Amino acid sequence: MKICVLPGDGIGPEITAEALRVLQALALPCELNEALLGGCAVDATGDPYPPETQRLAQEADAVLLGAVGGPQWDGLPRAQRPEQGLLAIRKQLGLFANLRPAILYSELANASTLKSEVVAGLDILIVRELTGDIYFGQPRGIELRDVDGRQERFAFNTMHYCESEIRRILRVAFEAARRRSGRLCSVDKMNVLETTQLWREVAIETAADYPDVELSHMLVDNAAMQLVRNPKQFDVIVTGNMFGDILSDQAAMLTGSIGMLPSASLDADGKGLYEPCHGSAPDIAGQGVANPLATILSVAMMLRYTFAQQDAALRIERAVKSVLAKGYRTADIYEPGMQQLGTRAMGDAVLAALQVD
């Protein structure tokens, strides 16, 4: 198991350290190589995804990422922003399939801002296309142009998808739906955008290979509304890069605790990048209070999807559930009556739970 570890910025190093302690406690044979990505890489080399990191990431079977970004890099030109490192590694490694589960742990039922009957038992999976769409479409730019006889700043991006890109992400989503409840909702904006008209056509064609999965379609604005009105109507949602970015944040927050949610970004052969859904939280970086559970759960996803170590993945997930059941909480999920822990102590609690399992 060759793993490239990219702690990144903000709380990234703190939460990654706990996730690695959990991984090492499982005593699986693994080789870890740490490298720079994001703002820390910009500071050290001027490049958010430096060549040495590229080499280690390409040689690895899996990448574990903390988080990238922070306000200190806000003024930089786009090419040097930390986020470009994340976009570049996704593109270079061909990580087109982004799996973002939104699960409401019963122990955290009160964390959601929605009524508990609306979200109790919530368990949905967003499958987001990750290497195409308006994120990567050319041409793009910002320049001075002649508009009605005067010079103005003019900015443009291009949204495009080819059918093979759409088909491969739909297949991932149909397979996931098949393993779950057998229901898949494809989200588009086919009433306005040609790209998503093609998306819907390809979704309907692909459905012919999955007669056991019930496919439905929803326009993205309605999907945003339905996610807060009645999120439990969904099981697996599949959508493009831009809509998936937005809907996955929304779905994550239905659980009230973005600090709990892991994610996987997979290529066609099972190689993957695993990271928590939350960001680098610069406001609490270095204080030892961040919630490491999403990163620990990302290690579980890594063991399951890249290394086919289902038992080890389940052990980690059981350990996380058991620390929640014991009443241990980091600040982001704290409720009165519970026991508040910092990042390291939460890591210790998960390690202790692993030992007794």
**Which amino acids are annotated catalytic?**
135, 189, 221, 245, 249
Q: How far is the CB of 12 from ligand IPM (least distance, A)?
A: 12
Of 243 and 328, CB closest to Mg ion: 243
Task: Please identify, using beta-carbon distances, which residue of 86 and 302 lies nearer to ligand IPM.
Answer: 86
What is the rounded distance in angstroms from the CA atom of residue 291 to the CA atom of residue 258? 10
Q: Give the shortest CB-83-to-ligand IPM separation in angstroms.
A: 4
Site for ligand IPM in 78-117 (CB under 6 A): 83, 86-87
> What backbone phi and psi angles, to 5 degrees, belong to 145?
-140, 160
Q: Does 83 bind Mg ion (CB under 5 A)?
A: no
Query: Nearest distance from residue 160's CB to ligand IPM, in Å?
Result: 17
Cβ closest to ligand IPM, residue 87 vs residue 219: 87
Nearest approach, Cβ of 299 to Mg ion (angstroms)?
21
Closest to 239 (Cα-Cα) out of 214, 212, 255, 221: 221
Nearer to ligand IPM, 83 or 348 (CB): 83
251 binds, among Mg ion, ligand IPM, none (CB under 5 to 8 A by kind): none
Considering the complex, state which of residue 175 and residue 245 has its C-beta at the smaller distance from Mg ion.
Answer: 245
Q: Are 72 and 42 spatial neighbours (Cβ–Cβ below 8 Å)?
A: no
- The CA–CA distances, whole Å, from 238 to 1, 167, 186, 234, 327 equal 30, 11, 5, 11, 34
Told to check if 245 binds ligand IPM by CB under 6 A, we report yes
The H or E element spanning position 313 is helix 310-325
Which of the choices Mg ion, ligand IPM, none does residue 246 contact, using the CB cut-off of 5 to 8 A by kind?
A: none
Least spacing, CB of residue 244 vs Mg ion, in Å: 9
Q: Could you say which of Mg ion, ligand IPM, none residue 83 binds, taking C-beta under 5 to 8 angstroms by partner kind?
A: ligand IPM
Query: What, of ligand IPM, Mg ion, none, does residue 87 touch, CB below 5 to 8 Å by kind?
Result: ligand IPM
Long-range contacts from 266-269, C-beta under 8 angstroms, 24+ separation: 266/95, 266/96, 266/97, 266/98, 266/99, 266/172, 266/305, 266/306, 267/93, 267/94, 267/95, 267/96, 267/97, 268/94, 268/96, 268/168
Instruction: Identify the sign of the CA torsion 254, 89, 305, 243.
Output: positive
Separation between Cα atoms, residue 278 and residue 26, nearest integer Å: 25
Which of 123, 175, 245, 267 is the binder for Mg ion (CB under 5 A)? 245
**Residue showing the smallest CB distance to ligand IPM in the complex:** 83
CA distance 154 to 228: 35
Residues 249-278 interacting with ligand IPM (rule: CB under 6 A): none
Distance separating alpha carbons of residues 188 and 169, to the nearest angstrom: 14
Interface positions with ligand IPM (CB under 6 A): 83, 86-87, 245
Q: Which residues bind Mg ion (CB under 5 A)?
A: 245
